[in-house]
A and B are shown apart, each in its own frame.
Chain A
Amino acid sequence: MAELTGLERALKYLRMEQPDKIPIWHQSADLSRKFVGCRWPEFVKDPKKIAQGHIEYVRRFKPDMSGIGTHMWWPVEALGLKFQVLDWIVQPAPYPARKRPNPEIYKRIEYRDPWSTESAKIMKEACHIYTEAVGGEILCRQGWYGPPGMLGMLVGVPEVMRDILIFPEVVFKTLREVMVDYTADFITGCVEAMEPNITNICWAMSQYDWDMCPKEWWDVMAETDIACFTKVKQNIKKKTGKDVPITTHICAPNPALDYIVEKFGHLINEIQYWGPMCPYSLEQAVKNFGDKIPIMTGIDHTRTLLMGTPEEVDKMVKDAIDTARGKCSFALGPGCDIAADTPEANLLALVEARGKYGTYV
């Protein structure tokens, strides 16, 4: 088989066909920012620098799938979230419900155009520059949260979870009546920004987690996620005529993977989760649903990749490949964005190890 491009490799993996090599996903807003040599306040305001940093990242570390991002807060800025852009991190201003639960906060949330803010326009432009440059070579894969995650960004994740315990109907009403439409319009815009390389819709589903959320809430949240991604899928189909696959991002410590497969299996085209740091082993995942859906995991970005040696990275990759190779459609991926201090040698060791152990031909 001739050497495939990263994009071809990734699409074969998503179709559960055998590519030439096991594909790899990773990305890093922090390292990308470092490549263009600026601090966060400058970076977040400049679409060219955001794009340039991420293009450099792709060229240097050669992932088959990667994304472009800055921080988690701009997607809900239109709903009134204020955030602070510090030199080393961007984060929200203290949440109003931090100390005391307050149902009025949820009642005041109203639909706004998610693309009306300056940050959203900057990101849309950055995304467009990026996908024009690398979208023909790799699968652009930027995860966005569904309605529950977006509400968490806006009001505070622990606060929303606490408040569901105290006044569930108020929180769920806001989710259904405001956040579904807001999130659908937001994600549609994000996917459209990938034109002409619209390859997937990547959905973060981290709330389906045994530690994060009581099981009895999952169905209510799933209802809003399904309503939202049905809308996004329809929007994209109308625009492109294509049935674009839904990839996932489950950056949760103890994900309810069986529930996700059962509830969303007919809608999603991949399970990507935070192994080897979570109790759901790759072996178990392969056994339980490896015949049904592609699986991406295997890279520990918080310990081995960040603090380990290239030899340890090599072993981590080998272990994952030994477990999954030939038993499911498999890709290597971490649980989240790669941290700023991750040694370049470790990221390069990742590609090298994949070359050693993950080649099919």
Chain B
Amino acid sequence: MSSTRQKEEYLEEIREACLKFNFFDAEDAVEKALGANVPSAQIRDCFTRIMSDACKKWETREYCLPHLYALTSINEAIHGLLEPPAEIKGKVIIATMGSMHYFGKQLVKCLLMNDGFELYDLGETVLPLMVIEKVKEVKPDIICLSALVAVCLPLQKEVEVLLEKEGLRDRVKLLVGGISTSQRWADEMKADGWAQDAVGAVREVNRLVKEMKRRKERWQS
């Protein structure tokens, strides 16, 4: 087992590679850290900080989308190398409805993975029935649906309609996002939450999961 100081050095190496947006060096640094028995949880925490800093830099305009996307690519690639977290906060199905505009979805996915959620990524060009099938299979707590192009908004709405029709609506919370969406749209299509950006989406998912837990506890008592 590496000493605390050595562990910090490995994590620093990962951070440095990420700050240079160097996909290949970052991947190597993570493999090296794992090889030196740095726990996956610490590497995950390291990525939480990296992504959180990146989102702040995005807000202050220091970073643009390419910086976020480069870090998202690295984060997603290394996630497969890490051991799953000991405790799962909740199960989340995530999808980009109808089109291939996946960037926002990828960012939310990474932030949620780092935050300890179990993610089921249906990918892009997803249709409502594909979401419903997955809901039946994995029984998630939350469904996150993204839509960038306005033409795909009705597909988000159709998921809500189908959940209702299948008697699944009360068992799951529905969060929508994407540049074409708004609080007004979320209200109109009866979603449980809406987020303007990725950080907001993570906040909303945490809020909705807590709300579900409180409700379950009330029922049990």
Encode contact with A along B47-82: 1 for CB under 8 Å, 0 otherwise.
Answer: 000000000000001001111011001001100000
Chain B: CB-nearest residue to A97: B73
Encode contact with B along A84-101: 1 for CB under 8 Å, 0 otherwise.
Answer: 101011011010000111
The residue that B182 contacts in the complex, of A165, A166, A211, A303, with Cβ under 8 A, is A303
Are A214 and B23 in contact (CB-based, < 8 A)?
no
Chain A: CB-nearest residue to B61: A210
The answer to the question of B180 belonging to the interface, with a C-beta cut-off of 8 Å to chain A, is yes
CB distance from A252 to the nearest CB of B (A): 11
Q: Contacts A165-B66, A212-B64, A214-B64 given: A99-B152 contact, CB under 8 Å? A: no
Are B64 and A302 in contact (CB-based, < 8 A)?
no
Are A214 and B66 in contact (CB-based, < 8 A)?
yes
The answer to the question of A246 belonging to the interface, with a C-beta cut-off of 8 Å to chain B, is no
Are B70 and A165 in contact (CB-based, < 8 A)?
yes
CB distance from B185 to the nearest CB of A (A): 6
The answer to the question of B172 belonging to the interface, with a C-beta cut-off of 8 Å to chain A, is no
Are A101 and B23 in contact (CB-based, < 8 A)?
yes
The answer to the question of A143 belonging to the interface, with a C-beta cut-off of 8 Å to chain B, is no
B24, B149, B150 pick with most chain A CB within 10 angstroms: B150
* Those of B178-201 within 8 Å (CB) of chain A: 179-180, 182, 184-185, 188
Chain B: CB-nearest residue to A340: B151
CB distance from B110 to the nearest CB of A (A): 13
Are B152 and A213 in contact (CB-based, < 8 A)?
no
The answer to the question of A306 belonging to the interface, with a C-beta cut-off of 8 Å to chain B, is yes
Contact partners of B23 in chain A: CB under 8 A = 100-101, 162, 166
Contact partners of B69 in chain A: CB under 8 A = 158, 161-162
The answer to the question of B129 belonging to the interface, with a C-beta cut-off of 8 Å to chain A, is no
* Those of A107-151 within 8 Å (CB) of chain B: none
Encode contact with B along A288-312: 1 for CB under 8 Å, 0 otherwise.
Answer: 0000000000000111001100000
The answer to the question of B22 belonging to the interface, with a C-beta cut-off of 8 Å to chain A, is yes
The answer to the question of A227 belonging to the interface, with a C-beta cut-off of 8 Å to chain B, is no
The answer to the question of A341 belonging to the interface, with a C-beta cut-off of 8 Å to chain B, is yes
CB distance from B59 to the nearest CB of A (A): 11
State in angstroms the CA–CA spacing of A213 and B66 once bound together. Answer: 7
* Those of A26-55 within 8 Å (CB) of chain B: 30
The answer to the question of B177 belonging to the interface, with a C-beta cut-off of 8 Å to chain A, is no
Encode contact with A along B137-159: 1 for CB under 8 Å, 0 otherwise.
Answer: 00000000000011111100000
Contact partners of A340 in chain B: CB under 8 A = 151
Q: Which of B1-9, B31-39, B98-106 contacts A (4 or more CB under 8 A)?
A: B98-106
The answer to the question of B117 belonging to the interface, with a C-beta cut-off of 8 Å to chain A, is no
- How many contacts between A and B, using CB within 8 angstroms? 86
What band does the interface of chain A fall in when counting residues whose beta carbon is under 8 Å from B?
Answer: 20 to 34
State in angstroms the CA–CA spacing of A306 and B180 once bound together. Answer: 10
The residue that B150 contacts in the complex, of A158, A212, A213, A302, with Cβ under 8 A, is A302
The answer to the question of B10 belonging to the interface, with a C-beta cut-off of 8 Å to chain A, is no
Contact partners of A214 in chain B: CB under 8 A = 64, 66-67
The residue that B65 contacts in the complex, of A92, A94, A212, with Cβ under 8 A, is A212
Contact partners of B185 in chain A: CB under 8 A = 303, 307
State in angstroms the CA–CA spacing of A301 and B179 once bound together. Answer: 12
State in angstroms the CA–CA spacing of A33 and B100 once bound together. Answer: 21
Chain B: CB-nearest residue to A213: B64
The answer to the question of A164 belonging to the interface, with a C-beta cut-off of 8 Å to chain B, is yes
The residue that A91 contacts in the complex, of B21, B100, B153, with Cβ under 8 A, is B100
State in angstroms the CA–CA spacing of A30 and B149 once bound together. Answer: 12
Contact partners of A339 in chain B: CB under 8 A = 149-151, 153
A92, A165, A213 pick with most chain B CB within 10 angstroms: A165
The residue that A307 contacts in the complex, of B98, B102, B188, with Cβ under 8 A, is B188
The answer to the question of B125 belonging to the interface, with a C-beta cut-off of 8 Å to chain A, is yes
State in angstroms the CA–CA spacing of A300 and B124 once bound together. Answer: 25
Q: Nearest 5 pairs between A and B by C-beta? A: A161-B66, A339-B150, A165-B21, A158-B69, A162-B70
Chain A residues close to B by CB (< 8 Å): 30, 84, 86, 88-89, 91-92, 94, 99-101, 158, 161-162, 164-166, 210-214, 253, 301-303, 306-307, 339-341
Other A-B contacts than A30-B151, A158-B102, 8 sampled, CB-CB below 8 A, are A91-B99, A91-B125, A94-B100, A99-B73, A161-B65, A165-B67, A210-B64, A339-B150
- Listed by A's residue number, 15 A-B pairs whose Cβ atoms lie within 8 Å are A30-B151, A84-B125, A88-B98, A101-B24, A158-B69, A161-B65, A165-B70, A166-B24, A166-B70, A211-B64, A211-B65, A213-B64, A303-B180, A303-B184, A306-B180
